[in-house]
Each structure stands twice: as C-alpha cells, then as structure tokens.
Structure 1
Amino acid sequence: MVMTIVRADYANAGHGRDLLALLDVYARDPMGGGEPLALAVRSVLLKGLAAHPTAFSLIAYDDGAPVGLANCFFGYSTFAARPLVNIHDVVVDPAHRSKGIARALFAQIEAIAAEAGACKVTLEVLSGNHRARALYQSLGYGDYALDDEHGNALFWQKRLAA
C-alpha cells in the first residue's frame, strides 16, 4: 500500500470525481443515511465547496485509487479567540478500512489546524457508530463540557426549507 493524501482542488476534475464518489460511499452507508448522494447535491457541491472560503477537503489515495475523504471547515472560537476546524465528513472505503487511512487523514487535518493556529478540532459522531467512536477516542477526541455539573454539549439541528 502506497498511501498519499492530497488537499483537494475543487476545480480539478479528478479530485472532484473522487470526492463525489467517496461522499456517495458515505451517504450509502447506514452511518451516512443509507441513501445515494442526491443528484441535485452532486451537481452543485463542488462549486459550493469552492465558493465557501473556509472549506477544505483531503482525499486519501492507495496506489492511486481514492480510498478516504475528509471534508472540513474552519470556524472561530469566541472563547479562545482563535480559529477551529470542524470535520464535517469522514469516510474510508469499506474495502480499505483498518489500514490506518482515517488516522492519516486526522493527522493531516490536525497539522493544517495547528498551522492555522487553531485551538481545537471538532466533529460529530452518531452514538451508535461504535467503530468511529473508538477511533476518535483513541486519537484524543471526546465529549465537550464547559462544566461537568451542567453536562455535555449536544449537537442539535433544525432543517430549513430550501
């Protein structure tokens, strides 16, 4: 296995094809909703990412084949007055899991975050995704709480009409 990780160029046709293919793998997985990536999303995603000034994506290749993806966004911590990085999507092709690909993606994300002076890297994970949770915990990620007496932070959402 000869693994390389590249920062995706959203205007590069090969990177775009590989990003969309890997994101579709994630979307079809039960942990990604179990449905193919919508055609409407596929048609605008790369342009949307390219237009979003804080977005960056990493693609892992094994002997030239795309096997892993991380889509990330810079944010800002008001309490630390420093940037942060949120990992929005992480996927490793099921045929290539347990080969260190996710660990390598995380190492690259953390290097980019450190270079930018970020105070932390954040992510969301489903409570039932035991495999991912074990990996993230082994990398030092965990629940977020300002004060144990008031409990852990929860990730909530409200969908808005298109």
Structure 2
Amino acid sequence: MPKSSEPPPLCPITSALPVQTTSSHPARETGTSDSERSATAQAIYEKEPDAVKATPDLLRKNLFGETPYAHALLAFSSGSADAPGEGEAVGLALYFFNYSTWTGKPGLYLEDLYVKQDQRSNGVGKALFRELGQVAENKGCARMDWVVLTWNQPSIDFYEKRLGATRMSDWMGMRLDEKGIADLKNLV
C-alpha cells in the first residue's frame, strides 16, 4: 500500500445525532490505537474480555505492512456544538477479501463490526455498511459474508430487517486455532 502524506478522502455519513455528524475513512497507521480499543470493547461486549491479543504494533504490521492482510474503516464523530472538530472513534469495520469458486468473483468478508454502545441506533452501523457496500461494489464482489453470535439479537435484527441479509442455515462455521494449524503437519 503506497504511503502518502495526504489522508484518504473522508466519506460523509449521515447521523441521527442532532449536533454531531459522523465520518468514516480507511484506517491509517495513526489509527491503530483506535482500532485496538474498538476490538477490545467488542470483545468485552461479546463476553470474551481476554480474547484480544492484537496490539497497535501487530495491527500496524498486519494492516499497513508489506503484506496487508485486512483493511479497516473507522467512523468518527465530528465533535459536538460545544467542541467542534474533537471527534472520537465511534465505530470500526475490519474486513478482507476472499474468493468464490462458485461465482468466479471476489467476496468481502466482514471480520469485525463494532459501534460504541452510546452510538448504537444513531446510524453509525448503517454508515459503515454503506461504505463497505461501496468497497465491495468497486472491487466487483459477488457477496459480503460475516458471522454474528446467536445471542446477539439486536445485531441479528439489524442485519435482517435493515440490511436485508439472509441467514446461512445450511452452513456451520469451523475454525482451527494456532495449535490446530501447527498440528496439521502431523495429519496422516
């Protein structure tokens, strides 16, 4: 990814907040602490407070290093009427591209979506999805996939009712952790 002194253009995002607006842009190296804080807050919400091992250095290496493995969008509030321009990170979308042999096209996989608790129902999630949709469309993606915890009914409702997403009831997620990956070399 070429480095530039110019920040990427901001994508305006409409918010329901009366005195705040939200904008998002691709995360930059300077935003890795915001990304880490969002990931930690998401892990706490998902009842896995000790699961996050990512550090700003790891995020910097894996998002902006020689081989970027994923991309991130950060949503920021622009501040308030009392403190204009003092925006804070209020949302994160971390995604990467995969490929479908069935469609013969790339897909976008949303690994993480997090919106600060006090910003939920204010349009931040919709705004991040709008931008993700634009990214997917620009890349010629045939689909977007993600998973949601079965107990997270507010998110399930949002995905189904607001986005029109469909459940993949015939598919089950599978995972190998680092030990499982290492054990593959002994597979006979």
Q: TM-score, normalised by structure 2?
A: 0.74
Aligned twin of 1:91: 114
Aligned twin of 1:69: 92
Amino acid paired to 1:26: Q
Q: Indicate if the aligned counterparts of 1:85 and 1:122 stay in contact, CA closer than 8 A.
A: yes
Aligned twin of 1:110: 133
Tell me how far apart the structure 2 counterparts of residues 47 and 154 of structure 1 sit (CA, whole Å): 31
Residue 46 of structure 1: CA displacement? 2.3
Q: Indicate if the aligned counterparts of 1:143 and 1:153 stay in contact, CA closer than 8 A.
A: no
Q: 1:34 to 1:54 in 2, by over 3 A?
A: closer
Q: How many residue pairs are counted as aligned between the two chains?
A: 150
Aligned twin of 1:155: 173
Moved over 6 A (4+): none
Give the fraction of aligned pairs with identical amino acids, expressed as a percent.
25
Aligned twin of 2:123: 100
Aligned twin of 1:132: 155
Q: Indicate if the aligned counterparts of 1:26 and 1:91 stay in contact, CA closer than 8 A.
A: yes
Q: Indicate if the aligned counterparts of 1:92 and 1:102 stay in contact, CA closer than 8 A.
A: yes
Aligned twin of 2:43: 27
Q: 1:112 to 1:82 in 2, by over 3 A?
A: same
Residue 140 of structure 1: CA displacement? 1.5
Q: Indicate if the aligned counterparts of 2:62 and 2:69 stay in contact, CA closer than 8 A.
A: no
Name which of 158, 165, 177 aligns with 1:141: 165
Tell me how far apart the structure 2 counterparts of residues 32 and 78 of structure 1 sit (CA, whole Å): 35
Deviation track 1:60-95 (CA, whole Å, cap 9, x = no partner) reads 011221000000001111100101000000100111
Residue 54 of structure 1: CA displacement? 5.0
SS in 1 for 2:36: helix
Residue 36 of structure 1: CA displacement? 6.6
Deviation track 1:91-144 (CA, whole Å, cap 9, x = no partner) reads 001111110100110110011000110000000111111011111112011223
Amino acid paired to 2:177: R
Residue 32 of structure 1: CA displacement? 5.4
- Structure 2: runs of 5+ lacking an equivalent: 1-19, 79-86, 183-188
Q: Indicate if the aligned counterparts of 2:106 and 2:140 stay in contact, CA closer than 8 A.
A: yes
- Point out the structure with the larger helix share: 1
Tell me how far apart the structure 1 counterparts of residues 63 and 76 of structure 2 sit (CA, whole Å): 20
Structure index of larger Rg: 2
Amino acid paired to 1:126: L
Tell me how far apart the structure 2 counterparts of residues 7 and 32 of structure 1 sit (CA, whole Å): 27
Tell me how far apart the structure 2 counterparts of residues 20 and 33 of structure 1 sit (CA, whole Å): 15
Tell me how far apart the structure 2 counterparts of residues 53 and 22 of structure 1 sit (CA, whole Å): 19
Tell me how far apart the structure 1 counterparts of residues 60 and 154 of structure 2 sit (CA, whole Å): 29
